[in-house]
Chains A and B, each alone.
Chain A
Amino acid sequence: MRVWAIGATNIRRMLRERSNIFFVFIFPIAIILLIGAQFGGDFDPVIGVHLGDDGEIATSIATELESLEDIETLRFETEDELFSRVEYGSVQAGVSLPAGMDDVAAAGRVVEIGFVARTDGFGPQLQAIAAATISEVMRPVGAAQFASSETDVPFDRALAIARPLNDQIAAIDVEVATLGEAIFPQSLGRFDLGAASQLVLFTFLTALAGSAALILTRQLGISQRMLSTPTSLRTVVVGESVGRFGVAMVQGVYIVVLTLIIFGVNWGNPVGAVLLLIVFSAVGAGAGVLMGSTFSNDQQAGGVGVMLSLGLAALGGCMLPIELFSPTMRQVAHITPHAWAMDGFAELVRRGGGPLDIVPELSVLALYAVVLFALAAWRLRVAITRP
C-alpha cells in the first residue's frame, strides 16, 4: 500500500511540474511530426536549373527536367544564386545551361553543360538522372550534327529533318525490377519508424530526468523522514522505483496512444507492444533510480541524464535505423537496451511478429531491468541510510 503511495506521489509530482507539459507531452509529438515531415514519406530531391538564355535547347532541357517525376525543379535567375543554394544544401543539385547553346550546336561543336552537387547524398543519382534527361533532348541535335558533317546539308535543315524522324525510332524500354525483401517495406507508414524511435528515446529520457526528483527527495531529507515512520527501507526503495517506472510508463503510453490516434501509427501486435513498453520502462526506471541515488547534485544529474539518454538513443538506433549501421557498429549498438527495444518494435511493426517472436528482446531487456534495479536498490539503501 505504502509502495503505491510513494509511487503515485512521484507521478503526481511529474505531472504537476509545468515544464513537463512541454517536455513530456508536446515535445515528443512535435519531434515525431517534424521527422515525419522531413524524412518520412516521399522526399523529392530538388534540382536547380539556371538558363543562360531562352534558346531552344536550354528551354527544352529545362522543360524536360521539370517534367520528371519524383524530382522537384526550381529555376534560378543567376548562376551564382543556384550554386550558392547547392553549396548550402537546400537544393541538392544544379544544372547550369550556358548562354548560346544553340549556336555552339549549330557550329557542330560539343555543348558544355555545368553540373553542381553536394558531395553527399543525392549528387551521383541526380547527375545520372540529369544526364539521361539531357541525352533525350540532345538526340536530334547530335543526329543533325552528324548528318550535317556527313553531307553538305546545313545544320538547321538537318535538324528539321531529324526532329520528325526522332519519333519514328523504335524505343528501347528500360524495365526496372527489385530483388529481395525490403528492410523498410513500402507499407511502412510515414510516421511508423519515427514513432517507435521517439517512444524509446523519450521513455528513457523521461525516466532519467526523474532522477532529479529523487535527488531532491533525498536532499530535502524526505527519504530519511519516511524511514522514521513505520515504513521499511525496502518499501521506500521499491516505492521510489515504482514511481520512476510509473513516470516512464506515463510517457510511453502517452506517445503510443497519441500517435495511434493522430498519425494512425502502426504499433504491431498490441500485446507485444505493451510487453515491450513495460519491460523497457522498467529498464529506464532502473537507470533513473540508479542515477538518482548515485548523484547528489540535481543539476549534474540533469546534464548527465540528457547526455546519456541522447547518446544511448543515437547508439541504439533511435536516430538512424540500426540496419544502416556498419556491421561492427551494429554489434556495439546492442550494448544499449535501446537497440533491443528497437529490434523488438521492428519485429512487431515491420515483420508483423507477435509476443512470441520478441521473447529474445524481452528477455534481454528484463535482464537489464533486473541488474539495474539490483544496483539501484543497493545504491539507494546506502544513500538514504548514510549518516
Chain B
Amino acid sequence: MGATTRIATKDLKLRIRDRSAIITGIIAPLFLAFIFQLIFGGAFDQSLDLSFGLVDLDGTEVSAGLGQVLDAIEGEGVATVERFGSRAEAEDAIEEGGADAFILIDEGLGRSVMTNMEATIEVVGDVDAPTSTQIAESIATQYATGVGAAQLAVGTTAAASGTPLTPDFIASLSADPATAAFSYELTDVTTATRQLDATTYFAAGMAVFFLFFTVQFGVLGLLEEERDGTLARLKAAPISRASIVAGKALLAFLLGLISTSVLVVSTQLLLGASWGSPLGVAVLVVAGVLAAVGIMGLVAAMARTPEGAGNLGAIIAVILGMLGGVFFQLGSGDDFLSRLTFITPHAWFMRGLADLADGAPWTAALPAAGAILVFAVSTGSVGWLLLRRRISE
C-alpha cells in the first residue's frame, strides 16, 4: 500500500508542476462552461416573452370576448397585450418589433355569429417569431371554438325545450351561454422539474467531458514509464507489480476527483450553478471518476504506445461526450438517439444531477450512480487484468 500511495503522490506532484492537467482538468472546462452559459443561457432559460396585438374592427359584444380572453392571459403575466386601431398600425408594430403577432377581427364577425354564417379571424405574426405566432393562432382558435360553444349551447337549449330560436328566447336564458366554453379546466400540475438550469447543465457537461481527458494524464503515466524505460526500474524495486498499476490508477482517480471537485465548487461560487445535495453530488462524482479511470485504463491496456493510448482515449472521450449529451441533449420522445445516449456514463451523470435538482435528497442520485458504477467495474476490471499481465511480462 505504501508503494501505491508513494507512486501516486510522486506523479501527482509531477502533473501539478507540468500544469497541463490543470489546464485540461480545470481551466478549459471552467472557461467553456462560462462561455456556453453566456451564449445559451438566454436561449435556454427563456421564459417566453410574448407580446400580442389585437385589432378589433368589429366592436360587437361577440368580438369583445377575444379581448377578455387576451386580458385574462395578460393578467396571468404570460403575455402583454396591446390594442391597435387599424391593420396598418398593428403591422407597423410587428415590423418594428413592438409585437410578435396580432389577431385581427374584421367588421361583421358579430353579425355572422348571430346569423350562423361562416367568418374568419386573421392571425398575423412576425416571421421570426413562429412560437408566438402559433400561440396566437391557438388563442384565436380557442376563442372561435368558445364562440361556437355559446352558439351550440343556445341551439341545444332551444331544441331540448322545443322552443324556436328567437332573440326573445336568448334573452330569457338565465345564464350567459358563453359559460358553455368553460366546461373544462386545463391546470398546470407541473410539480418537480428534474431539469438542470443552463448554468448547471454546462458546468456539469464540461466537468464530465474533460474529466476523461484529465484522468488520462494519470493512466498514461504507466505507458510513458514503459516507453522511457523507468518501468523496468520500478519492477526491479521490491514492490508488487499490482501496486505499480494501483499507483497509477490511484493517481488517475485523484486527478479526476480533485479537478471535478474544484469545478463543482468554483462553478457554484463563480457562475452560480446549483448542483444540489452535496452528498448526492459527491456520490455521483466519485462514481463518474471511477468510470473514467476504468474506461481510460482499458484504453491504455489496449494501446501499444502512450501516443496511441492518448489518441484512442481522446476519440472515445469525444464520442462518449457527444453521445452522452454534454453539449446538447440528444434525441426526443422515443427515438433511437434518446435511448442510445444511455450507453454512456456521461448521460447517467447528467441524469443523476437532474434527479438531484429541485432540492431532492441525496438518495435520488443513487440509481444513476449505480449505473455509472456498472461502467466503472466492467471496464476497470478488464483494464486492471490486462495491465497487470502486461507489466508482468
Contact = CB atoms under 8 A, between A and B. Distances in A.
Contacts of B186: 95, 113, 115, 127, 130-131, 134
A174 B95 contact: no
A260 interface: no
B315 A22 contact: yes
A73 to B, nearest CB: 9
Given A90-B338, A113-B186, A300-B23, A169 B155 contact: yes
A178 B124 contact: yes
A326 B182 contact: no
B128 A329 contact: no
A378 interface: no
B187 A112 contact: yes
A170 interface: yes
Given A92-B332, A132-B138, A151-B157, A169 B133 contact: no
A352 interface: no
Interface stretch (A222-230, A249-257, A269-277, A302-310): A302-310
Interface string B328-344: 11111110011000000
A83 B118 CA distance: 40
A56 interface: no
A141 interface: yes
B138 A131 contact: yes
Interface in B183-218: 183-195, 213, 217
A143 B153 contact: yes
Contact of A179 (B109, B124, B174): B124
B311 A19 contact: yes
13 contacts: A31-B322, A120-B195, A132-B141, A142-B183, A144-B156, A165-B159, A174-B121, A174-B123, A176-B124, A303-B213, A307-B23, A311-B31, A314-B36
A40 B351 CA distance: 25
Given A303-B28, A320-B40, A174 B156 contact: no
Contact of A169 (B43, B151, B314): B151
Given A113-B185, A162-B152, A314-B32, 17 more contacts: A46-B333, A74-B334, A117-B190, A127-B186, A127-B188, A130-B186, A131-B142, A132-B138, A139-B149, A147-B159, A170-B118, A172-B119, A172-B121, A174-B121, A176-B123, A176-B124, A179-B125
Contacts of A77: none
Contacts of A19: 311-312, 314-315
A148 B156 CA distance: 9
Contacts of A147: 153, 156-157, 159-160
Contacts of A37: 337
A132 B145 contact: yes
A277 B50 CA distance: 39
A307 B185 contact: no
B32 A310 contact: yes
B127 A178 contact: yes
B185 A112 contact: yes
Interface in A16-69: 17-19, 22-23, 27, 30-31, 34, 37-38, 43, 45-46
B125 A165 contact: no
B309 to A, nearest CB: 11
A360 interface: no
B267 to A, nearest CB: 15
Nearest to B314: A19
A67 to B, nearest CB: 14
B152 A143 contact: yes
Given A110-B185, A145-B183, A151-B160, A175 B121 contact: yes
A46 B140 CA distance: 22
B194 to A, nearest CB: 4
Interface of A: 17-19, 22-23, 27, 30-31, 34, 37-38, 43, 45-46, 72, 74, 83-84, 86-92, 95-96, 105, 110-120, 122, 124-125, 127-132, 134-136, 138-151, 153, 157-158, 161-162, 165-166, 168-183, 297, 299-300, 302-304, 306-307, 310-311, 314-315, 319-320, 324-326, 329
A72 B333 contact: yes
B178 to A, nearest CB: 10
A31 B362 CA distance: 35
Contact of A176 (B133, B156, B188): B133
Contacts of B195: 87-89, 118-120
Contacts, number: 327
Interface residues of B, number: 109
Contacts of B14: none
A46 B334 CA distance: 9
A317 B113 CA distance: 50
A142 B182 contact: yes
Contact of B125 (A45, A88, A166, A178): A178
Given A172-B119, A182-B128, A87 B155 contact: no
B156 A175 contact: no
B157 A297 contact: no
A128 B142 contact: yes
Nearest to A135: B145
B329 A143 contact: no
Interface in B151-173: 151-153, 155-157, 159-161, 173
Nearest to A130: B186
B311 A18 contact: yes
A182 B127 CA distance: 6
B270 interface: no
Contacts of A74: 333-334
A378 B283 CA distance: 50
A179 B194 CA distance: 38
Given A18-B311, A170-B116, A320-B43, A143 B155 contact: yes
B44 A181 contact: no
Given A141-B183, A147-B156, A171-B148, A176 B125 contact: yes
B331 A90 contact: yes
A122 B32 CA distance: 26
